[in-house]
Amino acid sequence: MTSAHTTIPTLTGFEKKLVCAIAVLAGPTQSPTVAEIARHLKVNSRGSVHRYLQSLIAKDCVEREGRGWRSISLTPSGKAAADHFMPTFGTSPVTGSHLSPVNLPSTDSEQLNTDNYRIPLLGKIAAGKPIEAMSNEDTLDLAGFFIGPDRYALRVTGDSMIEAGILDGDTVIVKKQSTARAGDIVVALIDRQEATLKRLGATKTDGSVELQPENVNMKPMRYAGSRVDIQGVVVGQLRSY
């Protein structure tokens, strides 16, 4: 039973999976190896596991004895986190999170019949000073914008993009592509483990990539270019009222 006084630190999606994996794999007298953890999480790169273990040590969720990685164990905070997140990540550590890699749609889909995806476009409406009401009936082709073999949707969680008008709970429409320009809002996959929605910054002289949140309280994230894969560019947004 987790103590009510044990603080659960803020963890990334993969860190949550990692503490749960350690809890599942730990034996009564022996800790799991990095290789065992990687196999359990179906991760090819042990280096990625090492990096996240170092992060969990810094967050006081994991401790190790000596210099080796054979004697890693969860701290009280790590055990509290594992207990808390186990219902979500314990049975399916790889796919249990919205931060898992995005399964992109096939580009070989049949051509859609878009005739039924048009709605009347009646004109303009002022969001500032009132303007003269004008009747200018046309149609808006929703299919061409939102629907197609190269489009997919993602539900947004978190507030890192609020200053771009993308709020927690919104749905973004993404065009599947592996390249993007600086300034685009992209779906970026980090270490082939975690997907994040950020604005793409200019590539640095050392080849690193900067992913910029649209929230004044959050700092940009910088990664080696080899660690970042672009999975698409945001082309639209949906919100229900």
Query: Which residues are annotated as catalytic?
Result: 160, 198
27 vs 72: CA distance, rounded Å: 11
Q: Are 154 and 176 in contact (CB under 8 A)?
A: no
**Amino acid found at 165:** G
Cβ contacts of residue 208 below 8 Å, gap of 6+? 222, 223, 224, 225
Closest residue by Cα to residue 62 from 7, 15, 4, 12: 15
For residues 182 and 201, is the Cβ–Cβ distance under 8 A?
A: yes
Q: Rounded distance, CA 132 to CA 103, Å?
A: 46
